[in-house]
Amino acid sequence: MSNNQIPVLIDRSPSLRAPEWIRIKQLEEQTSALRNSVICAFNQLLDLKDLNTGVHSTRLAEWGMRVGQELGLEEAALQNLEVAALLHDIGKVGIPDSILRKPGRLEPEEYALMKKHPEYGWAVLRMLPGFERAALDILHHHETFDGKGYPAGLKDTEIPVVSRIVCVIDAFDAMVSSRPYRKGLPHEEAVRRLKEASGTQFDPVVVECFLTFAQAEMATVFAAAGTSVSSAL
């Protein structure tokens, strides 16, 4: 046997293939850890800009994953959903504080700038390998079911399902959350408004799915997020 035959024999030996699979597993774990680090880093960026609270993002991710699982989304879509639920407003980092923190109604030109935040978020996240799909889901999180949303005016199932889910849970969370300049709506009123806009602003299937568990488990969900229903009212 000549020396240059040895590598071929080694490559074909099943018992010696294990290190290759171990290496692949290690690479997968490293990729997953890097992905989680990126999500954490962007979350911290949102915190620095005071656009985020741990409770808010945890709550959205929990609700989003529940709805996604109920609707039968595949694992890859669920992973994108988690990213989109956590980072959907990352583009607000590019909006001036004078607009973000304005307590009153925005002027038309201010509102036009505010509406840029999904595109800003998409432009940033799409640069990251593995986040391209989540970036698209973030781009469309302010589309409405009737096609009157932004930035593209997509309607119905033209809107990515992850974007439709984030749209509903983000709106509900915004309604029940208190802000420095206004008190959050009572849970029942938020549910009523969600139902009222079902089929126009929101995907009715997503609304029904969300409300099915949200109404039954709201106290548990709020408690898990570190607050209570009464404090959210």
Using CB under 5 A, list all residues that contact Fe ion.
89
Smallest gap, in angstroms, from Cβ of residue 201 to Fe ion? 13
Say if residues 158 and 189 touch (Cβ distance below 8 Å).
no
Comparison of 147 and 151: residue with beta carbon closer to Fe ion: 151
* Least distance (Å) between residue 142 CB and Fe ion: 6
Of the pair 60, 77, the CB lying nearest Fe ion is at: 60
Please give the C-alpha separations between residue 63 and each of 23, 52, 91, 220, 222, in angstroms, as whole numbers.
35, 16, 22, 12, 11
Residue 24 beta carbon to Fe ion: minimum distance, rounded to whole angstroms: 37
Q: Which is nearer to Fe ion, 89 or 173 (CB)?
A: 89
Return the SS3 of 202.
strand
Q: How far is the CB of 92 from Fe ion (least distance, A)?
A: 7
Three-state secondary-structure class, residue 182: strand
Give the other-Cβ count within 10 Å of 206's Cβ: 23
Alpha carbon distances (Å) from 128 to 31, 178, 193? 12, 33, 36
CB neighbourhood size of 65 (10 A): 17
89 or 143, CB closer to Fe ion?
Answer: 89
CB of 88 to Fe ion, least distance (A): 6
Residue nearest to Fe ion (CB): 89
If DSSP codes are grouped into helix, strand and coil, which group holds residue 145? coil
- What is the DSSP annotation of 130-143? T-HHHHHHHHTTT-
Residue closer to Fe ion (CB basis): 89 or 203: 89
